[in-house]
Amino acid sequence: MERWQRILSESITDPDQLACHLPIDPEPLRPVVARYPLRITRYYLSLIRERDDPVWRQCIPDPLELEPDALSLDPLNEKRLSPVPGLIHRYPDRVVLMVSSACPTFCRFCTRKNRLDRKGNARFFDSMEAAYEYIERRPVIRDVILSGGDPLLLTDDGLENILLRLQAIPHLEMIRLNTRIPVTLPERITQQLCLMLKRYHPLYINTHINHPMEITPSSMEACAVLADAGIPLGNQTVLLKGVNDDPEVMKQLMQKLLTLRIRPYYIHQMDLVKGTGHFRTSVQQGLRIMAALRGHTSGLATPSYVIDLPKGKGKVAVLPDEVKRQGETLFLRNYMGEIIAYPDGKEETEG
Ligand SMILES: *Cc1c(COP(=O)(O)O)cnc(C)c1O
Ligand code: SF4
């Protein structure tokens, strides 16, 4: 067993264990955990400073998860967009491969919380063969995103088998890997892992960091090792009520990410997922946060704010309502709130 596997096996999975570490009554959490399992690494738990702080809210089960809501088990329609097990094909040229169903820490707001079978430790499904063949037969697919669960919960060998197989598909131009492990189980990012990963370039990694409290010397070191392996790092943040729905917090997070050589990629509006309603914010608040970033900090610290439309209609980027048109003049609002006239270029008209 590798060191990180031992650390993972010491994670907290039971409300009684939790009550040994936090001033919390385990009783009301039992039905929540029966429906949506609990797992928190000791490392991630150690980041909690007080009740209901941003780390607490992301990982500690809450009876609100069982409130009846009109939200969906599968808001993005991933089931219908899945032609073979574990593969989601929504956009023509890129697919998501759900290679793992496990995570070191189960986020209470997880988009796939109703879909992932959390019992196993890593593999999402038994055989990837059908998924490989699906990609092989479709030359239009040029980008594969490894997701889950967390792909980095696979062993180095398990992950390398997937990468090897994908690398052999001539029309694939790149591989992406989405992971939250640098902030939930930083010990997993070993030199050995990175030596392996760097043989599969162009490989991009998107981390999932939601709050400056998640950035510690350990997670910084993990990200540094990845960046040193020449892996371009991006980050996806989910906009979460009571966690990061605040312009100052979000600005601090984006700026800190850049110091870790991570380029903020997306801020996601919460998906309409059953059991996560208490994390939802208004789009208006998201737009306020975007307005507080654009122009007020480095452009590199300004990601796109995206809504993943229900029923698998795709992601759209939303912008503050900054444009008005009068004839051929655009009136644009800058970061100071000034309205500036801008003469538009001519549109090509087809004859
Ligand atoms: C988000 C997503 C992608 C990738 O979208 P990008 O905007 O290219 O990052 C691809 N497939 C599915 C199903 C997705 O949800
Ligand atoms: S790490 Fe990602 S997949 Fe895993 S529980 Fe959190 S949001 Fe869900």
Residue 350: pLDDT band with limits 50, 70, 90:
low
CB atoms within 10 A of CB 221: 14
- What lines the ligand 1 site, CB under 6 Å? 88, 90-91, 94, 96, 145, 315
The Cα-based distances of 298 to 263, 301, 302, 305 in angstroms read: 11, 5, 7, 16
Q: Give the span between the Cα atoms of 259 and 243, in whole angstroms.
A: 21
Is 137 catalytic? The answer is: no
Is 112 catalytic? The answer is: yes
- What lines the ligand 2 site, CB under 6 Å? 103, 106-107, 110, 112, 148-150, 180, 208
Q: Give the span between the Cα atoms of 290 and 267, in whole angstroms.
A: 9
pLDDT for 290-347, tens place per residue? Answer: 999 999 999 999 999 999 998 888 999 998 777 788 888 888 888 888 888 888 888 7
User: Which ligand 2 atom is at minimum distance from the Cα of 179?
Assistant: 1
| Catalytic choice (62, 74, 245, 308) | 308
Ligand nearest the Cα atom of residue 143? 1
Residues 6+ apart with CB under 8 A from 301: 251, 254, 255, 257, 258, 264, 293
Is 74 catalytic? The answer is: no
**Torsion region of 314: left, alpha or beta (phi above 0 gives left; psi -120 to 50 gives alpha):** left
Q: Look at residue 188 and tell me whether its pLDDT is greater than 60.
A: yes
Pick the residue whose CA is nearest to atom 8 on ligand 1: 94
Read off the pLDDT of each residue in 119-123 and give the average, rounded to a whole number.
64
Q: Give the span between the Cα atoms of 251 and 297, in whole angstroms.
A: 8
Ligand nearest the Cα atom of residue 184? 2
pLDDT value of position 2: 94
| Catalytic choice (39, 57, 108, 112) | 112
pLDDT value of position 351: 53
| Catalytic choice (288, 294, 315, 333) | 315
Is 90 catalytic? The answer is: yes
Q: Look at residue 121 and tell me whether its pLDDT is greater than 80.
A: no
What percent of the chain is modeled with pLDDT above 90? Answer: 80
CA 20, 21, 25, 31 torsion-angle sign: negative
pLDDT value of position 120: 60
Residue 123: pLDDT band with limits 50, 70, 90:
low
**pLDDT averaged over every residue in the chain:** 94
pLDDT value of position 334: 85
Give me ligand 2 centre to Cα 208, in Å: 9
Give me ligand 2 centre to Cα 114, in Å: 12
Ordered by where they begin, the domains of the chain are 3-343 (3.20.20.70)
User: Which ligand 1 atom is at minimum distance from the Cα of 81?
Assistant: 13
- 332-337 long-range contacts, CB within 8 A, separation 24+: 334/295, 335/291, 335/294, 335/295, 335/296, 336/295
Pick the residue whose CA is nearest to atom 6 on ligand 1: 315
Alpha helix ranges (H) inside 142-190:
156-167, 181-184
Residue 178: pLDDT band with limits 50, 70, 90:
very high
DSSP states of 261-317 = TEEEEEEEPPP-BTT-GGG---HHHHHHHHHHHBTTB-GGG--EEEEEEGGGTEEEE
Instruction: Count each helix (H run) and each strand (E run) in the chain, helices first.
Output: 12, 12
Residue 124: pLDDT band with limits 50, 70, 90:
low
Is 51 catalytic? The answer is: no
pTM for this predicted structure: 0.95
| Catalytic choice (36, 59, 62, 90) | 90
Is 107 catalytic? The answer is: yes
Higher-pLDDT residue of 73, 133:
133
Rank 71-75, 201-205, 309-313 by mean pLDDT and report only the highest. 201-205
pLDDT value of position 130: 95
pLDDT for 6-50, tens place per residue? Answer: 999 999 999 999 999 999 999 999 999 999 999 999 999 999 999
Read off the pLDDT of each residue in 143-169 and give the average, rounded to a whole number.
96
Ligand nearest the Cα atom of residue 183? 2
What percent of the chain is modeled with pLDDT above 70? Answer: 97
pLDDT value of position 247: 98
Q: Which has the closest alpha carbon to 235: 177, 190, 194?
A: 177
Read off the pLDDT of each residue in 64-75 and give the average, rounded to a whole number.
89
Read off the pLDDT of each residue in 274-302 and give the average, rounded to a whole number.
95
pLDDT for 236-246, tens place per residue? Answer: 999 999 999 99
Is 59 catalytic? The answer is: no
User: Which ligand 1 atom is at minimum distance from the Cα of 95?
Assistant: 11
Q: Which has the closest alpha carbon to 304: 319, 288, 326?
A: 319
Ligand nearest the Cα atom of residue 179? 2
Residue 286: pLDDT band with limits 50, 70, 90:
very high
Q: Which residue has the tokens 């540094």?
A: 224
